[in-house]
Amino acid sequence: MTDADHPQHPNGPYGADNPEKPNGSEEPNDPEEPNGSDHQDGSENPRDRPRCNNRDDRGQWDDQAGLESVRIPMQRTPAEDGGPLRGPAPSPWPQAPAPRPARRQGRTPEQFSHTALRSLLGAWALTACSPREAAAVEHHLGDCGSCAEEALRLRDAVGLLHPAENLDLAPELRPRVLAHCLGRRPPRVPVPDWAVPYEAETARLDALLKDIGGAEWHAPVRLRWYEHGRRVSRRTTVAGTVAHLLSVDGLVAVALELADPLGADTPGGLGPTKRTEAYWGASPVPPTCLVRLPWREQSRRLVRTVSFLAEEAAEPGAAGAPVSYGDFVLPLPDALLERAFECWIHAGDVAEAVAYPYGPPAANHLHRMIDLAARLLPAALARRRYDRAAPARAGAHARSLRLEIEGAGGGEWLVPLEGPSGPASEGAEEVAHVALDGVEFCRLAAGRIPPQDAMAGGTGDREAITEVLTAAAALSRL
Amino acid sequence: MAQNAPPRWDRAMHLRLARGEAAALGELYDRYAPLVHGLAHRVLAEDAAADAITREVFARLWEHPDAYQPERGPLRTWLAELAHRLAVQRLRSTAPAGAAAARGDGGGAHERDRPGDHAGEQLERTVHRASAAARADYIVESMPVSLRAALELAYFRRRDCRQAAADLGITEDEAHRRLRLGLQLLATAHGSGPLDPPLGYDTPPDPADPSSNPGRTT
């Protein structure tokens, strides 16, 4: 017999990465002939007759389990129950032992050679033959011990086919497994804690992308954000969304002096929107699933690079140059946190487009993201005032708003209302208190819900509350 | 993604793990956790148990990166072997005689034990079936895409040969060939009983066993 027919795995079934070609040959020649005898096109080989007719002899030539004690199982259960079986009812072989005379009467069997029938065994075991072929195979099984043995084996193998289960690992498992590992052997080059949310969110999105099909990459996605107090949106696809992440993550790559995904000759100083449009516009065809790999590779490179940078940096958090977003700058840790936030939000867009459930980040990561947004609020408030040319409240005392975030990852933040350069919030008068859920706040800051729709409870100065919620929405952008 | 990983990836990963790079551990998890967890789950039919095996598999490699030697074979295979072995061990140890029958209700892999059998035989049968089911999963996942696609069409989507051949753009004869070859590969899952570590692989050390050498044999 050839190796291709009975694949030999010297290392067991896990030993071969490509089990189809154990010896570089994949075409089965004559699988069941231990003596090398050749069944040619149904010619009656005298040596075969006793075998086929006398099952008691099988032990001599069949090294598989004794056939006396087993029988060909019924045709397979369909993957989904309830559907009609294709093809004919299974042959009750061997209980109905002898359609053999039919062979001599020269009906079906003559139309198929032994070789042809043998090649049909896989299809037969899967009930994928035409009724005529299935009938011929079943007839043949009553005659030919070697084919009967293989049919039994293959039918048995069909029972091992299971729908893949457990495709989605629980997202909580990853941090638990990693923490367990790192507890048993502390890393020499840890991922800095401010980079962990980015690492986790990119891994989570990648797991989602791995499972989506070719057509789903082109499912429509509408990206929404606020510009000058107005809600704007932009149509793209799942692949276009990932391309957007790739382009904007590139800002961090550039700051770290890594390769720019937009190409080396991309002008510096472009913000997220311009970079995304440059990437989308650089190719005549829309992005495809191929964008996943460069996005993933870049995100891994970023995590790896900042790990080494943080390790070399004298003081924690001092690693790396600040990241320029065109019209503003963030320190590297905040930039990576911002990218983690965007990754989650856009993963939500993708998940919605392909109707997949997608939960919020881990509570401690969510907390860091909320903290970043809360720290960015004063500048956003100041920008809004500047846009409206609102006069500074001359001579007024400093005011602040207490932002209470509920739920996992929540906390309390005092937001100075007079802008980042305003007086320190400690002495400021607390004029309002607003409470909302953490995920709700993030969706607001991502432009996914309008400020007037945010389910916020508040007391105090209504105008201040509206200002802050509107400023939170203004943190969003493409 | 995880399939046909170039050995270069394995070598680089091995180096990075040995250097103690936490980022490498994350990448390793992302690539292989579904495989490891899936195999363990097929054997144990229980989420919490599969989680525990997953944790142990990655912890052993992280703790003793040199237990894996890239020149001896793919990392994927090594991890699958370890996951399978630990899962089967756990199945044996947590299914004491008599309790084996109760383990059959979690997943399709486990057989209901017949009355009148000895508990030991029941356990062996349970272990064999769970083990074969896990191997079968691995075989299907590792087989060439051409074979797997044909099997999926014929089995899960219930296409007949003519339809499957048309879907794949191949002749019917080729469809027959792929289905047969695919099932032949799958049938090897029934092979030997509990897995031995494949030839040439060091066994990752068992922390519970002080005599185990942390993978330094060469």
Instruction: Please report which confidence band the pLDDT of residue A168 belongs to, taking 50, 70 and 90 as the band edges.
Output: confident
The answer to whether B55 contacts A180, with C-beta atoms less than 8 Å apart, is yes
The answer to whether B163 and B179 have CB atoms below 8 angstroms apart is no
Whether residue A37 is contained in a domain is answered as no
Q: What is the mean pLDDT of chain A?
A: 78
- Is the bond into A94 cis (omega within 30 degrees of 0)? yes
Q: What CATH number is given to the structural domain containing A193?
A: 1.20.120.450
Tell me the CA distances in angstroms from B30 to A81, A206, A305, A343, A467, one per residue in order: 34, 9, 18, 17, 42
Alpha carbon of B155: minimum distance to chain A alpha carbons (Å): 6
Q: Are residues B149 and B128 in the same domain?
A: no
Whether residue A35 is contained in a domain is answered as no
* Neighbouring-strand partners of residue A233: A224
Residue by residue, what is the 3-state secondary structure of A103-126?
HHHCCHHHHCCHHHHHHCHHHHHC
Q: Specify the 3-state DSSP secondary structure of A458.
A: strand
Q: Are residues B19 and B57 in the same domain?
A: yes
The answer to whether A161 contacts B186, with C-beta atoms less than 8 Å apart, is yes
The answer to whether B26 contacts A199, with C-beta atoms less than 8 Å apart, is yes
Q: Are residues B138 and B151 in the same domain?
A: no
Whether residue A402 is contained in a domain is answered as yes
Which residue do the tokens 């089967």 mark? B88
User: What's the confidence (pLDDT) of residue A384?
Assistant: 81
- What's the domain count of chain B? 2
List pLDDT tens digits, range A169-189: 888 999 999 999 999 999 999
The answer to whether B183 contacts A125, with C-beta atoms less than 8 Å apart, is yes
What is the β-pairing status of strands A429-437 and A399-406?
A: parallel
Question: Residue A75: pLDDT above 60?
Answer: no
The conformation of residue A312, written as its DSSP 8-state character, comes to H
Distance CA A348, CA A354 (A): 10
User: What's the confidence (pLDDT) of residue A267?
Assistant: 86
Whether residue A3 is contained in a domain is answered as yes
Enter the pTM of the model: 0.72
Letter string b/e over residues A203-228, b meaning 16 or more CB atoms within 10 A of that residue's CB: bbbbbbbeebeeebbbbebebbbbee
Least-confidence region, from A378-392, A445-459, B29-43: A378-392
A185 CB neighbours in chain B (<8 A) are 20, 62-63
Alpha carbon of A111: minimum distance to chain B alpha carbons (Å): 16
Q: Are residues B120 and B134 in the same domain?
A: yes
The answer to whether B164 contacts A169, with C-beta atoms less than 8 Å apart, is no
Question: Residue A334: pLDDT above 60?
Answer: yes
Q: Are residues B138 and B150 in the same domain?
A: no
User: What's the confidence (pLDDT) of residue A14?
Assistant: 59
List pLDDT tens digits, range B100-159: 444 444 444 444 445 555 777 888 888 888 888 888 888 888 888 899 999 989 988 888
Question: Who among A12, A129, A161 is closest to B155 (CB)?
Answer: A161
Whether residue B163 is contained in a domain is answered as yes
Tokens of A275: 């970079």
Instruction: Please report which confidence band the pLDDT of residue B213 belongs to, taking 50, 70 and 90 as the band edges.
Output: very low
Distance CA B160, CA B171 (A): 13
Question: Who among B19, B185, B190 is closest to A189 (CB)?
Answer: B19
User: What's the confidence (pLDDT) of residue A472?
Assistant: 93
The answer to whether A133 and A91 have CB atoms below 8 angstroms apart is no
Distance CA B38, CA B54 (A): 9
The stretch A425-429 carries a mean pLDDT of 68
CA A386 to centroid of chain Cα atoms = 43
Q: Are residues A325 and A220 in the same domain?
A: yes
Tell me the CA distances in angstroms from A170 to A204, A254, A361, one per residue in order: 10, 33, 12
Q: Specify the 3-state DSSP secondary structure of B55.
A: helix
Q: Are residues B125 and B149 in the same domain?
A: no
Alpha carbon of B138: minimum distance to chain A alpha carbons (Å): 7
Question: Residue A303: pLDDT above 60?
Answer: yes
Q: What CATH number is given to the structural domain containing A463?
A: 3.30.1050.10
Q: Are residues A403 and A305 in the same domain?
A: no
Whether residue A135 is contained in a domain is answered as yes
The answer to whether A157 contacts B184, with C-beta atoms less than 8 Å apart, is yes
B12 CB neighbours in chain A (<8 A) are none
User: What's the confidence (pLDDT) of residue A477?
Assistant: 87
User: What's the confidence (pLDDT) of residue A330?
Assistant: 94
Question: Residue B90: pLDDT above 60?
Answer: yes
List pLDDT tens digits, range A221-256: 999 998 887 889 999 999 999 999 999 999 999 999
User: What's the confidence (pLDDT) of residue A48?
Assistant: 37
Q: Are residues A402 and A448 in the same domain?
A: yes
The conformation of residue A10, written as its DSSP 8-state character, comes to T
Q: Are residues B119 and B85 in the same domain?
A: yes
The conformation of residue A204, written as its DSSP 8-state character, comes to H
Q: Are residues A198 and A275 in the same domain?
A: yes
Q: Are residues B16 and B105 in the same domain?
A: yes
Interface test with B, best of A77, A160, A165 (most B CBs within 10 A): A160
Tell me the CA distances in angstroms from B142 to B1, B129, B136, B181, one per residue in order: 12, 20, 10, 14
Distance CA B3, CA A286 (A): 27
The stretch B82-90 carries a mean pLDDT of 93
Q: Which domain range does residue B188 map to?
A: 145-196
Q: Are residues A355 and A372 in the same domain?
A: no
B139 CB neighbours in chain A (<8 A) are 13, 19
Distance CA B146, CA B216 (A): 39
Closest CA to A332 of A314, A307, A365: A307
Of B142, B171, B205, the last residue of a domain is B142
The stretch A35-64 carries a mean pLDDT of 37
Distance CA A158, CA B189 (A): 11
The stretch A390-417 carries a mean pLDDT of 83
- What's the domain count of chain A? 4
Alpha carbon of B127: minimum distance to chain A alpha carbons (Å): 15
Q: Which domain range does residue A151 map to?
A: 48-158
The answer to whether A20 contacts B158, with C-beta atoms less than 8 Å apart, is no
Q: Are residues A263 and A324 in the same domain?
A: yes
* B202 or A107, higher pLDDT: A107
The answer to whether B155 contacts A199, with C-beta atoms less than 8 Å apart, is no
The answer to whether B181 contacts A122, with C-beta atoms less than 8 Å apart, is yes
Q: Are residues B52 and B137 in the same domain?
A: yes
Q: Are residues A264 and A334 in the same domain?
A: yes
Question: Residue A35: pLDDT above 50?
Answer: no
Closest chain B residue by Cα to residue A168: B34
A304 CB neighbours in chain B (<8 A) are 21, 23-24
| Inter-chain contacts counted by CB atoms under 8 A, chains A and B | 252
